[in-house]
Structure 1
Amino acid sequence: SKTMFPGLRLGYMVLPRGLVEPFVTGVNELHRAGNVPMQAALAEFITQGFFASHIRRMRGIYAARLHLLQETIAQRYAGSEVEVCGSDAGLHLVLLLPSRCDDRAIVQEAAAAGIGVRPLSAYYHEPAGAPRGLLLGYGGVAEEQIVPAFEALASILDRYLLIKPKAAKNHLGIGTC
Structure 2
Amino acid sequence: LAPEYPAPAGPNDVVAAIRWLAASADALGLDSSHIAVAGDSAGGSLSAVACQQLRDSDVTLCAQVLFYPSTDLSPAGDKLLSRQQNSAVPPLTLALMKAMSDPFVCHFDRTDPRVSPLRAADLSRLPPALIFTGECDVLRDDGRAYRDALQQAGVAVDYY
TM-score range, shorter chain: under 0.3
Q: What TM-score, normalized by structure 1, do the two folds share?
A: 0.23
**Which structure: greater helix fraction?**
1
Q: What TM-score, normalized by structure 2, do the two folds share?
A: 0.25
Q: Which has the higher contact order (CA 8 A, sep 6+)?
A: 2
